[in-house]
Chain A
Amino acid sequence: MLMLFLKEIRHRWMIHLLVIFLMAFIISILVIQSSLNSSAEEKIKELSHDLGKGMLVVPKETDLESFYAMQYGPHVMPDDYGDRIKASPLSKHAGKVDPRLYGNITVRGTDLIMVGLTMRSQRYGSSDYDSMTIGSGAARNLGLKVNDTLDINGNSFRISRVIDPPPKGYDMALFVPLKAAQSVLGKPGKINSLRMGGCWCKLDIPAFAANVENTLPGTMAITVDGLAKAQIEINAIMKQYSTILWIVGTIIVISSIIFLILYMIKKGEREIGLLLSIGLPPGKIIVKNIVISIVSAVAGVLLGHILSVPLMSWFGKASMRIALVPSWQYLPHFVFASTIIALVASSLPSWFVTRLDPTKLLREE
């Protein structure tokens, strides 16, 4: 029985795969639709904490998901971009302009984050080229304390301060002057982030962000307000289409399963007939069809969830410039629903066909 089951799947692998992919695509859209709100809200909450009412300007090609995860890529922009903003009409809205160069480095086997900044804040220590402020985790791992010296890539730094507790996520950070970071990271004259702040209460922030991008070619400007606005727009669209999306999606999923079963029965009519004619009990044929349908349906649901990860990330970046992560909380619901649909859709036609005389299926009349 198992041999027949496996060999039949192998014989018709293409149609099974086609149905699984069709279902997976639809399921991934449903997953994205159902988890979009919560994921976007979560991400915006995180960014609100990080950006406040400010703006983050980064090179256009930056992978934001990696950026937020503190994995910095090769993309950079000129370090005079801060000055260009100050020299532009936009400067009246940009009270604070903070160019930074972030990079990942390894020192004595410890993975660290280097942050090059203009050192206006006392929090990050002195603006001397060879002065370094470090997070408490980095100090502990490297065994450093104030006034110790740390050599990186031929640059020698004196520890001027250990920040304890450090800002969230900067436990393993080394704060150095921008020029020093550019030298250590091999990116002279470059930055990969520009933070801006000001009183923007009466400002159309998305329009302001667009002006910033025009003034600084090859950049993207991210604001919480912009993200929130994009989310509201997307939510409105999703709300408008969610019912129809669910109905169409559900119909396609159900149709895919029914199509698979009917195709299996139609293509395998003769085989069902001859299996019946050589004595395979009708019950076993029904069970075989049910199992194949459920396996295909569940495989489609799982693949759909996996597919929703890159799709949602792409969708989030395209629409809100943030990488969104789909919620898997609906997985059990999808699995349960698809199992029930597969069960009903496969058992009825299979039952019907096994009630027929085998010769009807063998077309031996």
Chain B
Amino acid sequence: MTVPQYDFIIIGAGVVGSLVARALSRYQLDILLIDKASDVGTATSAANTAIVHAGYDPVPGSLKATMNVAGSLMWDSLADELNFAFERCGDYVVAVGADELARLDELLDRGRRNGVQGLHIISGEEMHRREPEISSQVSGALFASTGGICDPFAVTVAAAENAVMNGTHLMLETTFQDFVLEGRRIVGVETDRGAFGCRWAVNATGVYADEVMHRAGVRPEFTITPRRGEYLILDKAEVTISNVMFPVPTRLSKGILVTTTTHGNTIIGPNSHEVEDRDDTSITSDGIQEIWDGALKLAPGLHQRSIIATFAGLRATGNARCETPGVDYGHDFVIEIPDTIDGLVNLGGIESPGLSAAPAIAQRVVALLRDRGEPLTERSNWNPIRPARPCFRNLSPAQRRRLVESDPRYGRIVCRCETVMEGEIVAEIHAPIPATTYDAIKRRTWLGTGRCQGSFDTPRVVEILARELGISPLEVSKKGPGSELLARPTKVWEGA
């Protein structure tokens, strides 16, 4: 029995897997990108601080540091090509009290050793001038002019779409089960949707990276310890934070930020706690309190009534030692083509600065393959541009008028809090990677994220999804099978 054959199977369509797919789609290769969820980018890529770090934080000499700094510089052209929101607005590490000032010098020094440009220390008064909401106890700040913010959902979708536009096959709701080995060579991948043949498999599975690589007998001592980070989203109408602000970091994490986002909201968080369950993205009351206390340190004027949403994400914290001689660091990225097996590109422990580093990681994967003698012949018709779809609320009145005239569905409101129109939703449902669930539409259009958190739009979205997909409203789900929004029609029930 023959199975479908590919050159590359990329396991995991988060931001890293999607950018790797895009990078490889440039070449004459048959690529399959798989993900167990109903959409791309639903796990760590969908629940992070959305920051493109400048690179002063990672340990100098680590792979995290080199990937962060290289990746950070690639975001402008990436955003131009893929048309998603990215702002290189700079970021701040804010020292509160005199003792923390010294730590800023350490970070400045570390940043310079990592090759980060545009770093300098500003006074407490200057920080106040730039961010009036900041605590009066702020003693100074490290300003990194190359830091930025992005829309992490949009970059993942855009990268995956660009890969698909350039010939990549995408299979969602497809769960990796095992590698198919012939001796010490990977020749395929088994999934719950059947087996597929390949010359190379790419492990881009985030919090599951250890389990996947162990299936290939790679790095038996490597483990992922998921660390959950919880976040609160604050109402943009009430909170006027305009900058990206970190506290002075601790050993375990960059700390609880107060930051603006490309959507205009303010996010506070994350905390950092180990969890056992690799799907546990629940919010805890202790976590909410911890984040709140942390945020008040930087911005004491915040009010809990401004909280409009909460979410949590899992960091894929690995235990790989840094391979640079002389560098003592035990949680570095794994980006390798292992020697113990043929046909595997292995990515592990991609936690922060994973998002920032992602374009560089993709580039490095290509370099590693080239070094291994993989012939990478460019496609003549590779198109790096993924056009954006119209976003009503960002258009001028004249543009809105033209848009509605071209398609009246852009005149019908669905999400009143975030001004998302029916035409936008229909466009996402029929996009190169169709949005087929409520959450997929929410990530792409920002619907349902505002003050009413979907109370108004949910019935309309159910109707639109049912109509456009030709399914019953009873089949419409929040995030795939098992998460259907409705149970049954009224008037009809068992045993009545």
State whether these chains interact: no
Interface residues of A (CB under 8 A from B): none
